[in-house]
Amino acid sequence: MNRWAFWLRRLVAGAVALVALSLLIFGATELLPGDAVSAVAGPTATEEERAAVRERLGLDRDAATRYLEWAGGALRGDLGTGYLGARPVTEVVGARLPHSLLLAALALAVTVPVAVVAGLAAGMRAGGPVDHAVSAGTLLVAGLPEFVLATLLLWALAAGPGLLPQVSMVPLGGSPLDAPEILVLPVATLAVSGIAVATRLIRARTADIAATPYIEAARLRGVTGPRLALRHVLPNALGPAVQALGMVTGALVGGAVVVETVFGYPGIGRELQEAVAYRDVPLVQGIALVLCAIALAVLLLTDLLARALDPRSGGAR
């Protein structure tokens, strides 16, 4: 298959997946108990007041009509307006998403080098002491839920010794980079989780490649150590590694919901959690769709990058 056909197929698959996800998101929010009327009108509202609120919010129309209107708006970049604060969803996403992307980017910047080095070191000598140590360590960390990891880090670095702030409060009118100390714990939580998962994926692929005949042949020719790892194993492991990191990146964006909530960091994840708590359906739908689109875009990009880096495709030289 030529490169352009591959790209086209991936794009179409991504678009279909996004449509399917939008249906899933809309359907899931439809299944939430109650509707926004209770939240907006208040518990003491009369039936007439509830009906007026329902009509004002457009909830008196059938679900198919509302989905088509929402999806059509999303295509035009209009994700609707939050029920409670009456703010455009795109405005909320625009304010909060950069904060979350900053967390994810910093976490990825820590994750990639550590995971590649640890994964290569463990996979090159599968079954050896380094592999045992790395595998056991990453298995332990990967098994920890993010909120547990976050709590442990909070206790170890903030609550006890007071080295770091316990709550990630962004300076008013400023950016998180104005107070970099507030980023340390959220980034560390995301990075530790990401390193554990990515290391295991890279280690597995490295071990497979290290056992192939051409690597064995290189060893017989006297190529060993870092030279073998960097010149012969790594190029073949890069493609799968990039795909693994793509999955980790998706998890980093998703993991932001937990991490941002635990640390009170004003990102898109915390906003999603608040929107769910307050039944602000347009906000939930909009944020979920944007997160899904980001995850799909990252997977698409890593697919393309992995293909370009695959020595068999002639992309990597």
10 vs 54, which CB is nearer to another protein?
54
**Should residue 162 be labelled a site residue for another protein when binding is judged by CB under 8 A?**
yes
Contact at 8 Å (CB) between 286 and 73? no
Tell whether residue 59 is a contact of another protein (CB under 8 A).
no
| Region binding another protein by CB under 8 A among candidate stretches 1-9, 34-42, 126-134, 242-250 | 34-42
| Closest approach of another protein to the CB of residue 38, in Å | 4
Evaluate whether 279 touches 39 at the Cβ level (below 8 Å). Answer: yes
- Does position 186 interact with another protein (CB under 8 A)? The reply is no
Instruction: Kindly write out the interface string for residues 66-105 of this chain, putting x where it contacts another protein by CB under 8 A and - elsewhere.
Output: ----------------xxxxxx----x--xx---------
* 256 in contact with another protein (CB under 8 A): no
Of 298, 6, 302, 307, nearest in space to 316 by CA: 307
| 88 secondary structure, DSSP code | B
Write down the least CB distance from residue 205 to another protein, Å. 39
Is residue 222 near another protein by the rule CB under 8 A? no
Q: Does 160 interact with another protein (rule: CB under 8 A)? A: no
Closest Cα partner for 192 from 148, 127, 242, 229? 148
Q: Interface with another protein includes 260 (CB under 8 A)? A: no
Q: Does 157 bind another protein (CB under 8 A)?
A: no
Which range, of 19-27, 49-57, 229-237, 305-313, touches another protein by CB under 8 A?
A: 49-57
Instruction: Please report which residue ranges of the chain form alpha helices under DSSP H.
Output: 3-31, 36-41, 47-56, 63-75, 89-124, 129-142, 146-153, 181-210, 213-220, 225-227, 234-263, 268-277, 281-309
15 closest CA partner among 310, 303, 293, 317: 293
Q: Which span sits near another protein by CB under 8 A: 126-134, 171-179, 225-233, 295-303?
A: 171-179
* Three-class DSSP category at 81: strand
- Report residue 60 CA to chain centroid gap: 35
35 vs 146, which CB is nearer to another protein?
35
Q: Is residue 172 a contact residue for another protein (CB under 8 A)?
A: yes
User: Which CB atom, from 82 or from 250, has the smaller least distance to another protein?
Assistant: 82
Beta carbon nearer to another protein, 38 or 110: 38
Measured from the Cβ of residue 107, the count of other Cβ atoms closer than 10 Å reads 28
Handedness of CA 301, 304, 309, 315 (dihedral sign): negative
Q: Is position 38 an interface residue for another protein (rule: CB under 8 A)?
A: yes
- The least CB distance from residue 104 to another protein, in Å, is 19
Residue 180 touching another protein (CB under 8 A)? no
Q: Where are the alpha helices (DSSP H) in 221-233?
A: 225-227
Q: Count the site residues for another protein by CB under 8 A.
A: 50
Long-range pairs, 124-129, Cβ under 8 A, ≥24 = 124/206, 124/207, 124/210, 124/228, 124/229, 124/233, 126/203, 126/207, 126/210, 126/211
In the complex, the residues that contact another protein under the rule CB under 8 A are 32-35, 37-45, 49, 52-53, 56, 82-87, 92, 95-96, 154, 158-159, 162, 165-167, 169-173, 264, 266, 270-271, 274-280, 283
